[in-house]
Amino acid sequence: MKFAVDQILNLPEMKVLDFQEIEGVGIIITIDKTVNYSDCPSCKQISRSIHQNHWRMIHDLSWSEKPVL
């Protein structure tokens, strides 16, 4: 049985944009938020405007003995 990558990751409010396996590097999964709002970490109010935008490269546990980024 084959599962979709977003089902396996099980990250609510996120969608998988790209999934690549690169020889010598590992598996690279690109994700993005599906909602256009977020809670302020300080005051907890909902905001729909972007205050900062950061790209993150996150290393995770290996998947089928391949590094995951």
The pLDDT of residue 25? 83
Task: Report residue 3's pLDDT band, with 50, 70 and 90 as the boundaries.
Answer: low
Cα(11)–Cα(7) distance, rounded to whole angstroms? Answer: 8
Task: Report residue 9's pLDDT band, with 50, 70 and 90 as the boundaries.
Answer: confident
Tally of CB atoms within 10 A around 20: 11
* Among candidate residues 12, 21, 33, 5, the one with its CA nearest the CA of residue 67: 21
- Torsion angle of alpha carbons 62, 19, 37, 40, nearest 10°? 30
| Cα distance between the two ends of the chain | 24
The domain ranges of the chain are 5-68
| pLDDT, tens digit (0-9, with 9 covering 90-100), for 10-39 | 888 888 888 888 888 888 888 888 888 888
Average predicted confidence (pLDDT) for the chain: 80
